[in-house]
Amino acid sequence: MDRDHSDIVIAGIGQTPVGEHWDKSLRSLAADAFLAALRDSGGLMPQVMYVGNMLAVSVSRQANLGALLAEQIGMTGMEGVTVEAADASGGAALRMAYLAVLSGVVDVSLAIGVEKYTDVIGAETDSRLSQMLDADFESAQGLTPIGLAQLLFQRYMEEYSPDRKAFAGFPEVAHANSTTNPNAMFQRAMRESAYLQAAESDGMLNRYDIAPYADGAAAVILTREDLLPSGWDKPRIRALASSLVTDSLSIHDRHTPLVWDTARLSVERACRSAGILPRDIDFFEYHDATSLHAALSLEAAGFASQGQGWMLANAEVIGLEGQLPVATFGGLKARGHPLGATGLYQAVEAVTQLRHEAGKNQVKDAKLGLIQNLGGMAATAVVHILSG
């Protein structure tokens, strides 16, 4: 049965603070996020659960998260599976939940992202994170995600000769927005002088350019409007479109390393499905795993020409009151990057914006939000367009 995309409503959202949760297990973090989403939805009970996660098997030594979390939330018997797409796992889980309701086979679905990054510490973390790269041709040679981002950043600097100092605007805006986000890992503003002091090498990303990996869980419950609980009085936030695109896992197999086709195509396809243009959106929750990711994402989405994404890195353009607000609750850089849960945090934050419940982080008159979750070096890109 064909369904109207605009009929799909995000009925419940929940999240935990992002950080180092030494006192929490993976299952307890997920349960906290689910229970918050369940309360927010008015008690809608999902029939299916899609769990976005990247590291549980190798770091937490736990597979079969669908069964684990169904038991933890007291819903054994429900359908539940893990969805893995590196750090785009959360976005991919949201897409599965969206498609389940869109198909008409499922009335209420749950997408939950959870990561317990701190279950392994020290040098082991690099080998676990490198699993998002090509094992034979990248990680086997000693590359890590940050190491590869450094190489790409050096090439970006050489090809386009941007103003190195301008990149300070990306983390500066993110940290400014995170100061009023109680769930953010970093709740302090960043001084431009601190960034410039850290940027000693023009061709290298510094500590302010790189998002911190962390623990966290976030959840979203979706349904159709006619199935909302009686008396449900929250704003109807609709999932207008969803898109997932993949590319070569290894950078050397792409036609050019600095043009991320997945990021471009996922935006184009989602916008086409929603019947809008990128310029129609009111805010963009991009995947700022590094400042390079931020620049390339803006270029891929069509907000800047190739090699000119860095020119948008200032509060007048991408701040909360700018032309294109981004990372409105701090993004990956300041809210923190809980890997497989990141895409669901983006969704929760976008819904909060569209409900006009964002407080000091509110984007004025927000009606359309674009969220993009990337896996690895954009080997996977997932986009959702939400409307209020």
Joined together, the tokens standing for residue 203 give 């061709």
Q: What is the pLDDT, as a whole number, of residue 378? A: 97
Q: What is the pLDDT, as a whole number, of residue 245? A: 98
Residue among 320, 321, 324, 322 at smallest CA distance from 301: 324
Pairs from 142-150 (Cβ < 8 Å, separation ≥ 24)? 145/289, 145/376, 145/377, 146/205, 146/210, 146/290, 148/251, 148/377, 149/205, 149/210, 149/289, 149/290, 149/292, 149/293, 149/377, 150/204, 150/205
Q: Name the strand (E) or helix (H) holding 309.
A: none
List of domains in the chain: 5-122+211-387 (3.40.47.10)
Partners of residue 290 on adjacent β-strands: 210
* In the predicted structure, residue 88 carries a pLDDT above the cut 90: yes
Tokens 């700022």 belong to 288
Mean pLDDT across 269-284: 97
Q: Give yes or no for a contact between 228 and 11, defined as CB atoms under 8 angstroms apart.
A: yes
Joined together, the tokens standing for residue 287 give 């995947």
* In the predicted structure, residue 235 carries a pLDDT above the cut 80: yes
Q: What is the pLDDT, as a whole number, of residue 232? A: 84
Provide the pLDDT confidence category of residue 4 given band limits of 50, 70 and 90. Answer: low
Question: pLDDT digit string (tens) for 18-52?
Answer: 999 999 999 999 999 999 999 999 999 999 999 99
- pTM for the predicted model, two decimal places: 0.96
Q: What is the pLDDT, as a whole number, of residue 126? A: 83
Q: What is the pLDDT, as a whole number, of residue 225? A: 92
The CA-CA-CA angle for residues 293, 297, 299, to 5°, reads: 125
* In the predicted structure, residue 352 carries a pLDDT above the cut 70: yes
* In the predicted structure, residue 257 carries a pLDDT above the cut 70: yes
Residue among 131, 65, 171 at smallest CA distance from 339: 131
Q: How far apart are CA 224 and CA 206, in angstroms?
A: 45
Joined together, the tokens standing for residue 351 give 């819904």
Mean pLDDT across 269-280: 97
Q: Give the amino acid at 173.
A: V
Q: Give the amino acid at 143.
A: L
Mean pLDDT across 340-345: 98
Q: How far apart are CA 216 and CA 213, in angstroms?
A: 10
323 burial type by CB count under 10 A (0-12 exposed, 13-18 middle, 19+ buried): exposed
Q: How far apart are CA 294 and CA 203, in angstroms?
A: 16
Handedness of CA 30, 36, 40, 42 (dihedral sign): positive
Mean pLDDT across 60-77: 93
* Helices then strands, each counted (H, E), the chain: 12, 9
* In the predicted structure, residue 297 carries a pLDDT above the cut 70: yes
Radius of gyration of the CA atoms of the chain, in A = 19
* In the predicted structure, residue 343 carries a pLDDT above the cut 80: yes
Q: What are phi and psi of 71, to 5 degrees?
A: -65, -45
* In the predicted structure, residue 202 carries a pLDDT above the cut 80: no
Mean pLDDT across 197-224: 90
Listed in order, strand segments (DSSP E) in the chain are 8-15, 48-52, 79-83, 108-115, 216-224, 238-246, 283-285, 368-375, 380-387
- Residues in CB range of 60: below 8 A, 6 or more apart: 26, 116, 119
Q: Give yes or no for a contact between 323 and 363, defined as CB atoms under 8 angstroms apart.
A: no
Mean pLDDT across 198-212: 85
Provide the pLDDT confidence category of residue 120 given band limits of 50, 70 and 90. Answer: confident
Strands 238-246 and 380-387, bridge-based pairing = antiparallel
**Chain mean pLDDT for the chain:** 94
Question: pLDDT digit string (tens) for 157-187?
Answer: 999 999 999 999 999 999 999 999 999 999 9
Q: How far apart are CA 298 and CA 317, in angstroms?
A: 12
Mean pLDDT across 367-384: 97
* In the predicted structure, residue 199 carries a pLDDT above the cut 80: no
Q: How far apart are CA 279 and CA 256, in angstroms?
A: 26
* In the predicted structure, residue 345 carries a pLDDT above the cut 50: yes
Question: pLDDT digit string (tens) for 214-230?
Answer: 999 999 999 999 999 88
* In the predicted structure, residue 207 carries a pLDDT above the cut 80: yes
The CA-CA-CA angle for residues 110, 112, 114, to 5°, reads: 165
Q: How far apart are CA 212 and CA 186, in angstroms?
A: 9
Q: What is the pLDDT, as a whole number, of residue 5? A: 60
Q: How far apart are CA 236 and CA 9, in angstroms?
A: 6
